[in-house]
Amino acid sequence: MNKKIPFSPPDITQAEIDAVVEVLKSGWITSGPKTAEFEIKLAEYLETSKAVALNSATAGLELVLKVFDIKEGDEVITTPYTYTATASICLHRGIKPTFVDVKKDTFLIDIDKLAEAITPKTKAIYTVDIAGVPVDYDAVRAILKAKNREDIIFVSDSSHSFGAKYKGKRVGGQADFHIFSFHAVKNFTTAEGGALSFGNNNFKGREDLYKEFKLASLHGQSKDALSKMKAGAWQYDIVTDGYKCNLTDMASAIGLVQLARYEEMLVKRKAIFDIYSKYLGEKDWAILPFEKEGDTVTSYHLYLLRVKDFNEEQRAEVIKILADKDIATNVHFIPLPMFTLYKNLGYKIEDYPNAYAQYANEISVPLYSLLTLEDAEYVVKELIKAVEQVRG
């Protein structure tokens, strides 16, 4: 009988369950004291000044466009090698995103091509930290400075890189804004959820940017629910056409416990990553994923293995062999121009050859803090057998 290895189950303990029960019994379950505490602790962990807790990373990505009034007629640059959320938030605002291919043999946006894509209409750049690997934020800053375009808002879709380090400092304050995902399959989860972090609360001359983001996440309402509940405090104003994407106290309670456990969880993920690299490093057909360069370190979110000279059909065969043994694998990501939505908008994968080359032979191997080292060894041995069977 095969061992059953899921791809990415959430790491939830009794402590998270107890924290949610406590909130349920408190009488306050939506955004309230736990969310306020979670935001403070998040900012501390991310080594930056502000964090806004939201119901998804997608909400954070779009809130930046909303708060800075980036809309139809403006240009936003991003990468085709990402999940659709990074680009679809532009479409919601009437903007057709400008895609810049990834650098050859990497999953990250090509900084040189990024420089060439900037036009007078460019208002924002959304880079993407794939698998937990930080983009070279300083290189992006240098491009903006060299082109005298430091007016462009630099956003990092850091959905994968919570806990990663860039040049020795945790990811969270290097770009103008970082957006994190706390979805169920992420290293750190609140079931659904996300956060927006930043260092300058007066960015672009704003009086209180944190307050603006909070307003925009709560229908533009001048008082949140907690404030309105105070006796006699029923009156409020609507000051902008905001969204409804706040995080609940139940989710924040989970997040607070996860935050206390998170460094230990990262240690476990690194140990699994190391086992995979130890075995795969002996194979000349294996292209290992990024782990560390100087003081820049991944968050060990995904193990993105690439197999030399493999095509999509061979990759699919390996995935099926492993699935038949109850080992779940995945692919990250199908480049956006390969999807119907983006094809219909005129994008062609042929225009992004590096992204296609990264995708065509990539297999994401199970990597999560509940996976035992014994099971990780089992997974990588079965993976090697499957690849070598298909290679012939």
- Angle CA 33–16–368, to nearest 5: 125
Q: What is the pLDDT of residues 187-207, one digit of tens each?
A: 999 999 999 999 999 999 999
Looking at residue 264, what is its pLDDT? 98
Q: HEC string of 363-387?
A: EEECCCCCCCHHHHHHHHHHHHHHH
For the ranges 27-31, 60-64, 73-77, 166-170, which has the lowest average pLDDT? 27-31
Q: CA distances (Å), 262 to each of 55, 186, 256, in order? A: 20, 12, 10
Q: What is the pLDDT of residues 254-312, one digit of tens each?
A: 999 999 999 999 999 999 999 999 999 999 999 999 999 999 999 999 999 999 999 99
Tokens of 62: 């779009």
- 278 against 223, higher pLDDT: 278
Looking at residue 223, what is its pLDDT? 74
Q: Is the pLDDT of residue 227 over 90?
A: no
Span 363-377, average pLDDT: 98
- 225 against 89, higher pLDDT: 89
pTM strictly above 0.85: yes
Looking at residue 231, what is its pLDDT? 64
Span 59-73, average pLDDT: 98
What is the pLDDT confidence band of residue 224, given thresholds at 50, 70 and 90?
confident
Q: Is the pLDDT of residue 228 over 70?
A: no
Q: What percent of the chain has pLDDT over 90?
A: 95
- Angle CA 319–321–323, to nearest 5: 65
For the ranges 236-240, 282-286, 319-323, which has the lowest average pLDDT? 236-240
Looking at residue 391, what is its pLDDT? 96
Looking at residue 2, what is its pLDDT? 87
Is there a contact between 53 and 195 (Cβ–Cβ < 8 Å)?
yes
Task: Write out the catalytic residue numbers.
Answer: 186
What is the pLDDT confidence band of residue 250, given thresholds at 50, 70 and 90?
very high
Q: What is the gyration radius of the CA atoms in the chain, in angstroms?
A: 21
Q: Is the pLDDT of residue 226 over 80?
A: no
Q: Which domains does the chain have, with CATH numbers?
A: 14-255 (3.40.640.10), 262-391 (3.90.1150.10)
Q: Is the pLDDT of residue 176 over 90?
A: yes
Span 309-320, average pLDDT: 98
* Residues ≥6 apart with Cβ < 8 Å to 72: 93, 94, 95
Q: What percent of the chain has pLDDT over 70?
A: 98
Q: Is the pLDDT of residue 126 over 90?
A: yes
DSSP state of 357: H
Looking at residue 199, what is its pLDDT? 98
Average per-residue pLDDT for the chain: 97
Classify burial at 243, counting beta carbons within 10 Å of its beta carbon; exposed 0-12, middle 13-18, buried 19 or more.
middle
